[in-house]
Amino acid sequence: MRFAVLVNAGPYQYQGADTAWHFTRAALDGGHDILRVFFYHDGAYNGNRLLVPPQDERNVGARWSRLAAERGLDLVVCVAAGQRRGVLDAAERRRHGKDADVLAPGFRIAGLGLLAEAAILADRFVTFG
């Protein structure tokens, strides 16, 4: 089965982002395909490479980056949601005249068209947060 995953929750708001990560990993382990994981609204914060949780807590953003590296996931942060929250890649940083980009490894910035495409192509569309 092919899944598209939408994450609307920030990494430390509540369990939404964690649950999405566990679902995605379990689906992959079960032999399913994840077409795309799209981070929207406060979910954009998951793509911030500057997250520094206390050492005894999980690093949700780093978990997503590792899973993307291990499994070749397409992790997409909504461009508008990311801009509102300061989650920018190098191109968006230059375009807006900012002095830093903070996009974590394995993530990319794109528009809502990729969310619509994933929803159309997937057998199931799952939303968290």
* First CA to last CA distance, the chain: 22
118 Cα distance to chain centroid: 14
- Residue 37 in tokens: 């994981």
Active site residue: 78, 79, 88, 115, which one?
78
Question: Residue 3's CB: how many other CB atoms inside 10 A?
Answer: 20
Question: Residue 22's CB: how many other CB atoms inside 10 A?
Answer: 13
Question: Residue 46's CB: how many other CB atoms inside 10 A?
Answer: 28
95 among known catalytic residues:
no
Which are the catalytic amino acids? 78
